[in-house]
Amino acid sequence: KQEVTQIPAALSVPEGENLVLNCSFTDSAIYNLQWFRQDPGKGLTSLLLIQSSQREQTSGRLNASLDKSSGRSTLYIAASQPGDSATYLCAVRPRNYGQNFVFGPGTRLSVLP
C-alpha cells in the first residue's frame, strides 16, 4: 500500500531564506504528485501538479521536482516571506490502488519577519 511521508514535520526560518520541503512515497507507480498549501482553519490550495512523466514544475517562487524512481519530491521556496507560513502537503495518485489519492502528513512552515 502506498505511503507518503514528509520531512521535516515543522520548520521555522527567517524571512528571505530559501528552503526545501521533502516528500517521499513508497511505490513509484503513480500518475502524478500534487503539492498543496493549507492555512489554519482553511481548505487546501493547489500549488503545483507534476505528472509522472515530468521532472519539475515551477510557479513563481515555487519549484517542485519529482524523482519517481527514488520515490521523492521536493518543494523549493525561494526568498521566503511571512505570508508563506502555512502547512504544506504533498499527495500522490497511485496507479495501483484505484482512484484514491494518498496524502502525506504535512510540513508546518513558519517564516519569521
Partner 1 sequence: EAQVTQNPRYLITVTGKKLTVTCSQNMNHEYMSWYRQDPGLGLRQIYYSMNVEVTDKGDVPEGYKVSRKEKRNFPLILESPSPNQTSLYFCASSLGGASYEQYFGPGTRLTVT
Question: Is residue 14 near partner 1 by the rule CB under 8 A?
Answer: no
* Shortest Cβ 65–partner 1 spacing (Å): 18
Q: Which of 21, 23, 75, 91 binds partner 1 (CB under 8 A)?
A: 91
Note if the bond before 8 is cis, omega within 30 degrees.
Answer: yes
- How many residues bind partner 1, per CB under 8 A? 24
Contact yes or no for 64/36 (Cβ under 8 A): no
Measured between alpha carbons, how far is residue 112 from residues 11, 36, 58, 82 in Å?
Answer: 11, 21, 24, 6
Binding residues for partner 1 (CB under 8 A): 31-32, 34, 36, 41-46, 49, 51, 89, 91, 93, 95, 98-101, 103-106
